Amino acid sequence: MDRAPAGSGALSRVFSLSSRAAPARWALLLLLSIGLMVPLQLLRLPAALLLGAMSAAIVIAVGDGALSMPRWPFLFAQALIGCLVARSIGSNILATLSQQWPVFLAGVCAVLVISTSLGLLLARWRVLPGTTAVWGSAPGAATVMVLMAEGFGGDARLVAFMQFLRVMMVAIAASLVARWWVAPGATVVPAAIDWFPALGAVPLAETLALAGVGALLGVASRLPAGALLVPLVAGIVLSSTHLVTITLPPWLMAGSYALLGWAIGLRFTRDIVLYAARAFWKIVLSTIVLIALCAALGWLLHLAIGTDPLTAYLATSPGGADSVAVIAASAPVDVPFVMAMQMARFMIVLVVGPPLAKRVARWAS
């Protein structure tokens, strides 16, 4: 598995939690997570809940907190993320994909070539280790790419750093473009979240069963990232055929994001934080290049098939599918086309990502 080289020094020990009892450290982690998640959510930042939990866990880990996430809650959280993605790939998205598959295939392959090339350059220039650079540059759903990287040899900590930094940059860029395109001074406002909606007991029970059984089968299959992939594939089949209605209330997903954020953040060390800080501006530059090249690709898509420029731009935007979906829903664009392109790219990355990461790692070395 790729690991970043250790830093030449260590961060000064401003505070240390090593003398605190484990329950006190868990309580501090929970309070710090809430203190970060709430303001980030109020600011409507993409992946606010996961980012807040991960940031709090990094603080605890760097402060010698020495906590570790229990395995099965982490695997169940992965399975719920798989169900969430499966719900997003509905029958309408699949119908749009089948109708215009040559356009989607060409657009997805072009974005994949751009992102993989940037990942290869980051690896060749020793900014990041080989497969980590590829998964960090991969234009898929950020949370899923982190989990896939962990299953296929990348450093999940650095991949998370790259992916969520890009999610924020892409969301800001897409929001500004959509705001400028709609009308000067117009505002794209995300819908308010109903944290405790009315739920049907049967759909919720079906979803929890899908996640639980899927996680068990994923572990038993010994597939890399099986706890994520098995519920994802099963969920697509069951939801598209209307055998199961996937129901994921916000409060349940908030808990899942917190568990994933803690699992990733608690693995950070001071050396990893130093390493990420040294690579920060190079990663920012590569992300800006990726956004610009994908915007150029969107313009070519507009010229080739005549779709409106904003739809083409959002469709080719590199990652952050959830934040792109919010922006698209608030703008005058072809939402099924945008989400079909985003989901097609996600599915192709899931298939070609593992062998591509290994191949690029060999080229880089």
SS3 string, 24-63, reads HHHHHHHHHHHHHHHHHHHCCCCCHHHHHHHHHHHHHHHC
DSSP letters for 72-99: HHHHHHHHHHHHHHHHHS-HHHHHHHHH
The amino acid occupying position 88 is S
Q: Which two tokens stand for residue 191?
A: 């819908």
- C-alpha Rg value of the chain to the nearest Å: 20
> Is 293's pLDDT higher than 80?
yes
Which residue pairs from 347-351 have beta carbons closer than 8 angstroms and sit at least 24 positions apart in sequence? 347/89, 348/108, 348/109, 348/112, 349/112, 349/138, 349/139, 349/140, 349/145, 350/140, 350/144, 350/148, 350/229
Torsion of CA 154, 159, 163, 165, to 10 degrees: -160
Does the residue 148 lie in any domain?
yes
Confidence at residue 210, expressed as pLDDT on a 0 to 100 scale: 94
Does the residue 8 lie in any domain?
no
Number of alpha carbons in the 13 Å side-chain half-sphere of residue 220? 8
**8-state DSSP, 64:** T
Rounded distance between C-alpha atoms, residue 268 and residue 274, angstroms: 10
**φ, ψ of residue 13 in degrees (nearest 5):** -80, 85
> Is 124's pLDDT higher than 80?
yes
CATH classification at residue 112? 1.20.1530
Does the residue 15 lie in any domain?
no
CB under 8 Å to 177, separation ≥6 — which residues? Answer: 310, 313
Does the residue 40 lie in any domain?
no
Domain count, the chain: 1
Confidence at residue 198, expressed as pLDDT on a 0 to 100 scale: 81
Find which of 3-17, 143-157, 182-196, 245-259 is predicted with most confidence, using mean pLDDT: 245-259
Confidence at residue 9, expressed as pLDDT on a 0 to 100 scale: 42
> Is 17's pLDDT higher than 80?
no
The amino acid occupying position 244 is V
> Is 184's pLDDT higher than 50?
no
User: Mutual orientation of helices 71-88 and 201-221 as an angle, nearest 10°?
Assistant: 120
Closest CA to 324 of 19, 34, 47: 47
Torsion of CA 121, 123, 124, 126, to 10 degrees: 120
Q: Which two tokens stand for residue 37?
A: 């998640």
Q: Which two tokens stand for residue 283?
A: 């990663």
Does the residue 278 lie in any domain?
yes
Rounded distance between C-alpha atoms, residue 160 and residue 148, angstroms: 11
> Residue with structure tokens 């982690």?
29
**3 state DSSP class of 361:** helix
Does the residue 32 lie in any domain?
no
Report residue 267's pLDDT band, with 50, 70 and 90 as the boundaries: confident
Q: Which structural domain, as residue segments, surrounds residue 74?
A: 69-186+200-364
Average model confidence (pLDDT) across the chain: 80
User: Helices in 200-334 by DSSP H: which ranges?
Assistant: 201-221, 226-240, 250-265, 270-305, 309-316, 321-329
Report residue 156's pLDDT band, with 50, 70 and 90 as the boundaries: confident
Q: Comparing 224-233, 296-305, 318-327, which segment has the lowest mean pLDDT?
A: 318-327
Does the residue 46 lie in any domain?
no
- Of 220 and 50, the one with more pLDDT: 220
This model's pTM is above 0.85:
no
Does the residue 191 lie in any domain?
no
Q: Comparing 7-16, 146-155, 303-312, 339-348, which segment has the lowest mean pLDDT?
A: 7-16
Confidence at residue 12, expressed as pLDDT on a 0 to 100 scale: 43
Read off the pLDDT of each residue in 278-293 and give the average, rounded to a whole number: 91
Read off the pLDDT of each residue in 320-327 and give the average, rounded to a whole number: 65
Rounded distance between C-alpha atoms, residue 32 and residue 258, angstroms: 12
Rounded distance between C-alpha atoms, residue 175 and residue 318, angstroms: 14
